[in-house]
Amino acid sequence: MAFVQEELLQAWGNPHTSRVVERLHRFAFIPNELLEKLADMALHENWGNNYHVLKKYLAVQVAWSIEQGKFTEGENQFYVTAGHLQTRYGTPIYLAFSRNRNLGREPFYMVAVESNMSAPRLPVPPEIPAPTEIPVGVEIVMMHDHILDDNADRVPFFARTPRVAQMCAVSGAIQWSLNRKLHLAYWYFGQMSYVVPLYLSSREDITLAPDLIAPIQVNPGSLLVRTVLKPVMPFGNARVAVQRHDQLPHWLLQAWKEYAAAATEDEIENPEATLG
């Protein structure tokens, strides 16, 4: 029985969710041993506790493969790449799925992870969608006037600063980073957006972690700032948006290295809902 795109998309469900790992697990059973094999086979990365960042990466990248029609089939299986992951020799890594024969369970089952997959035709990686281009000179709008309250410990010098001055400082820091093209692509809630580093206390070395980061939403005529986050918090969502982890800025990789062991699955799944 052939695998058609409509069937696979229906099994994935609604793409507009922050709980993409849950969405992946509703789509297919992923044996732990195959997830471990993938992590061992690919170039070394810190995927966090229980490989949760890797699960999130697959949840988004495999969905893109299906949405873009970049899967192949044969032998009662369909094949996708493991996103853009490669072995240390530069060989793409492939995943094979079959229909789950266990009634009442996930519709599909991951059956193989290989760099030399035996398939009639091998797939190619999905394209990483580009975020909407940031227009020049548009207004920066804050979603609420207490945007720094949950991160007051990160910017103690703002403690006695009026709210309007805080908002102006954040807006100015966003514009400063945008002018220097320091913003990063960032996947969130089913679409690509950006996070912008906020250097509020020092701008002498932009290879160091900023004080905070701001997820922004590009709207016609404005940039909407939803919240501000600690520098490490967007790692999982930013990792999805690049082909290789070394394409992320040094400060983010370093922050993740120091924090990965403490990161919870909820923080990785929806960083904008886990402030503090």
The pLDDT of residue 275 is 46
Separation between Cα atoms, residue 104 and residue 204, nearest integer Å: 58
The pLDDT of residue 146 is 73
Separation between Cα atoms, residue 261 and residue 160, nearest integer Å: 34
Separation between Cα atoms, residue 195 and residue 178, nearest integer Å: 10
Contact by Cβ (8 Å): 71, 80: yes
Strand partners, 80: 95
The pLDDT of residue 102 is 87
Establish how many alpha carbons lie within 13 A of residue 119's alpha carbon, considering only the half-sphere containing its beta carbon. Answer: 27
CA 276 to the chain's CA centroid? 20
The pLDDT of residue 276 is 40
**pTM for this prediction:** 0.93
* CB neighbour list of residue 108: distance below 8 Å, 6 or more residues apart: 11, 27, 28, 29, 97, 98, 99, 100
What distances in angstroms separate CA 10 from CA 2, 4, 5, 115, one per listed residue? 15, 10, 9, 28
Contact by Cβ (8 Å): 52, 21: yes
What distances in angstroms separate CA 193 from CA 152, 159, 188, 271, one per listed residue? 25, 30, 7, 14
Separation between Cα atoms, residue 173 and residue 78, nearest integer Å: 47
Cβ neighbour number for residue 137 with a 10 Å cutoff: 5
Task: Return per-residue pLDDT of the chain as tens, 276 residues.
Answer: 789 999 999 999 888 888 899 999 999 999 999 999 999 999 999 999 999 999 999 999 999 999 999 999 998 999 999 999 999 999 999 999 999 998 889 999 999 999 999 999 999 999 999 999 999 889 999 887 777 777 777 778 887 889 888 889 999 999 999 999 999 999 998 899 999 999 999 999 999 999 999 999 999 999 999 889 989 998 999 999 999 999 999 999 999 999 999 999 998 988 887 544
Query: Domain residues of the chain, as ranges?
Result: 5-114, 139-273
Contact by Cβ (8 Å): 269, 250: no
* Number of residues that this document lists for the chain: 276
Residue in 133, 47, 50, 134 with CA at minimum distance from that of residue 82: 47
Residue in 267, 196, 271, 273 with CA at minimum distance from that of residue 48: 267
